[in-house]
Amino acid sequence: MLHTSDWHLGRSFHGVDILEHQRAFVTWLIELVETERIELVVVAGDVYDRAVPSLAAVSAWEQAVIGITRTCPMLVTSGNHDSPTRLGFAGPLLAQSGLHLRTSLEDIGNPLIVEGADGVSVAAYGVPYLEPDFHREELGAERSHASVLNAAMDRVRADLAQRGDVRSLVAAHAFITGGTDSAVVSESERDLRVGGIGDAPASVFAGVDHVALGHLHGAQEVRGSPDATSVAYSGSPLAFSFSEESHVKSVTVLDVAATGPVEVRRIAAPVPRALVTLRGVLEEIVCDPGTAAYANHWVRVVLTDERRPADPMTRLREVLPFAIDLSFDQRALTAVEAADASGARTRDPLAIAEAFVEHVTATPAEPVERDLLRDAVERIRVGEVPR
């Protein structure tokens, strides 16, 4: 079986459309499923990046479904970014073509039974993202992800108990922590925690052979299940923030024998454009011959100039066409600029306004701008601001 998740079709990277990169991943995945002789593909949620996806994103998903189901069936759950209703539309009809959608509570105890070429049968269950406030009453659970997931797994365990000699897999979309171990999170994941109820321990999945998780964008194993259950995130196939710069993006292949632990191996996904963070003075970065090595990377630049240089992004893109994120190390500012933080200049409203203009534009206010700001400040002081 192949486990993947968090495609976020339609998402941009720092404002840049990356759908062509997502389509390239889909094309690669279709070929991999065929060459690896995969017998089931599991997508553990966040197919789309928004509840109402664009037509282009839907087209990319259509490409994936048609290409993969020519080789094997798919089991797909909805994530916190997906609309369960839209993603689950025409589920019974699509199941006849090999696309098995699990987007509602009614589907949780309804496994897809897959028999491998070696005769081993696997009952694959799908648990969609469960929002406690929406689902706890029907599940008879408390207001926490741990409680609703445990209630959902009770349905899985009840069905599994009637299946006899069969291996089991659960695909779920949730923030799972392993006992005292901390899960590795990224900036690009939408926080599920509301009032401290967003995470759940791996122990809620006790009683099955393997749990294929979605939500966290870094591939990782999760420890903490009290029995032989293995729990792992496949991670996203593409990076969606510079916090994922060190990630090795991959998909996970699961080999399930008649007995024993599930064998887990990762296959690295293609990297359309690597990520790199450069830090230093603007002139040193643009003049360094080594900078050219990053001409095809997505680049984040942290400038340490003592004064903010004029139009730095234009200068950077002359040598780094894909520089897309720029920030300034506030600790490197001169004493004059740093005085803003200490409050020495905050007594003068005009100085504050001028500093704001410089902060936003990266250049000092022009004379005409200073005149306008001065006029506005004076009007406020004498109470002449029009209402």
Query: Does residue 175 have a pLDDT over 50?
Result: yes
Return mean pLDDT, the chain: 89
Total residues found in the chain within this entry: 387
In a domain, 59, yes or no: yes
In a domain, 70, yes or no: yes
| Domains in the chain, number | 2
pLDDT of residue 302: 96
Shared domain check, 152 and 67? yes
Q: Considering 220, 248, 268, which residue would you say is the last residue of a domain? A: 268
Q: Count CB atoms within 10 A of the CB of residue 179.
A: 12
Shared domain check, 340 and 219? no
Q: pTM surpassing 0.95?
A: no
Shared domain check, 346 and 288? yes
Shared domain check, 188 and 110? yes
Report the run of H or E that residue 159 belongs to, with start and end: helix 145-160
Over residues 202-223, the mean pLDDT reads 94
Q: Which two tokens stand for residue 93?
A: 């009809």
Shared domain check, 210 and 331? no
Shared domain check, 144 and 10? yes
pLDDT of residue 335: 44
Confidence of residue 195 (pLDDT cuts 50, 70, 90): very low
Q: Are the beta carbons of 213 and 233 closer than 8 angstroms?
A: yes
CATH code for the domain of 228: 3.60.21.10
Query: Does residue 123 have a pLDDT over 50?
Result: yes
Shared domain check, 302 and 256? no
Residue of 200, 205, 112 whose CA lies nearest to 152: 205
Confidence of residue 374 (pLDDT cuts 50, 70, 90): confident
In a domain, 386, yes or no: no
Q: Considering 213, 243, 268, which residue would you say is the last residue of a domain? A: 268
In a domain, 319, yes or no: yes
Residue of 264, 232, 236 whose CA lies nearest to 250: 236
96-107: b or e for each residue (b if 16 or more CB lie within 10 Å)?
Answer: eebbbbbbbbeb
Shared domain check, 149 and 8? yes
256-271: b or e for each residue (b if 16 or more CB lie within 10 Å)?
Answer: beeeeebebebeebee
User: Domain range spanning residue 157?
Assistant: 2-268
Over residues 117-121, the mean pLDDT reads 93
In a domain, 49, yes or no: yes
Q: Are the beta carbons of 261 and 210 closer than 8 angstroms?
A: no
Q: Considering 268, 298, 331, which residue would you say is the last residue of a domain? A: 268
Query: Does residue 111 have a pLDDT over 60?
Result: yes
Shared domain check, 228 and 298? no
Over residues 157-161, the mean pLDDT reads 96
Residue-wise pLDDT for 321-357, tens only, equals 999 999 998 765 554 454 454 454 456 788 888 888 8
Shared domain check, 27 and 172? yes
Shared domain check, 286 and 180? no
